[in-house]
Amino acid sequence: MDLGLRGKVAVVTGGSSGIGLATARRLLGEGMAVAICGRDPVRLEQARASLSSHGDVLAQQCDILDKANVLALCHAVTVWRGACDLLVNNAGQGRVSTFADTTDEAWHEELTLKFFSQINTIRAFEAMLRASGQGAIVAVNSLLAYQPEPHMVCTSAARAGVQNLLKSLAGELAPVIRVNSVVVGLIESGQWDRRFAAREDKSNDRDTWFSDLARKKNIPLARLGLPEEVANAIAFLGSPVASYTTGSQIEISGGLSRHI
């Protein structure tokens, strides 16, 4: 199916790893020019090099919590292509903590990360998204927004708030910009690779560790998801093919959710 993205411009935050990197690759495959950002310059350059054979890529170091950085990213995209048709707010990470072991400082950090990773970039790119005529925002969020886990209390609450914010934005930015999200379960990416590397029992190899994890979590499709499987949904929601879809979400969790 032609998604109608050819010749358009996407910005993917956190495009240097995992879901963001797979999304950048997917969108390049659709014929888009893609700007990616991340904080670590080495990882960013590796990503740029791996993507450059797929199409036109701009890679810019940027902490999305730093407003000046985000404005510089926006300026770079303006100089590079003078347009942004799709903003993928993907950058971030989860926080493992119960209510008892989350300090006030950690709450502030987590709420800032989850909210301002949306707010800073949407403020910066809104004008170009409006000018696009087919502007779209797709946020990468977690199933925790709907289904909190006891060991991720702070992240779960923040993610629920973000879904609420996105719903408001879908109304406020309509009819010019569509706003949707993907809510993901467990996806094989940098986050889970770091948890695998930090595992206490080193006897299991990566495949065994991941399949044990899927079993422990009772994932009906019996495995973790792949970043490419999330990228497919992001490409769809961000494309003119989804032109009558806003304020909605696609769940990509292998059937992990318990709500209807």
Q: Write each residue from 91 to 130 as x if it is in contact with ligand NDP (CB under 6 A), else as -, in one continuous string.
A: xxxx------------------------------------
Give the separation between CA 171 and CA 161, rounded to whole angstroms: 16
| 192: enclosing H helix or E strand | helix 190-197
Stretch that binds ligand NDP, among 59-67, 124-132, 195-203, 244-252 (CB under 6 A): 59-67
From the list 52-60, 87-95, 124-132, 162-170, the region that binds ligand NDP by CB under 6 A is 87-95
CB neighbour list of residue 89: distance below 8 Å, 6 or more residues apart: 13, 117, 118, 121, 122, 137, 138, 139, 140
Q: Running DSSP on this structure, what letter comes out for residue 221?
A: T
**Based on CB atoms, which residue is closest to ligand NDP, 37 or 74?**
37
Sign of CA dihedral 21, 13, 241, 51: negative
Identity of the residue, 121 or 246, whose beta carbon is nearer to ligand NDP in the bound complex:
121
* Distance from C-alpha of 142 to C-alpha of 163, rounded to nearest angstrom: 9
Return the closest-CA partner of residue 240 out of 151, 107, 121, 134.
134
Binding to ligand NDP (CB under 6 A): which residues in 135-154? 140, 142
Of 1-9, 37-45, 52-60, 204-212: span binding ligand NDP (CB under 6 A): 37-45
Question: For residues 6-35, which are near ligand NDP according to CB under 6 A?
Answer: 13-14, 16-20
H-helix or E-strand containing 182? strand 178-184
Interface residue with ligand NDP among 31, 43, 54, 161 (CB under 6 A) is 43
Nearer to ligand NDP, 34 or 62 (CB): 62
Binding mask 195-224 for ligand NDP (x = CB under 6 A): ------------------------------
CA nearest 183: which of 134, 237, 133? 237
Nearer to ligand NDP, 87 or 187 (CB): 187
Which is it for strands 178-184 and 86-89: parallel, antiparallel or unpaired? unpaired
Binding site for ligand NDP (CB under 6 A): 13-14, 16-20, 37-40, 43, 62-65, 90-94, 140, 142, 184, 186-187, 189-192
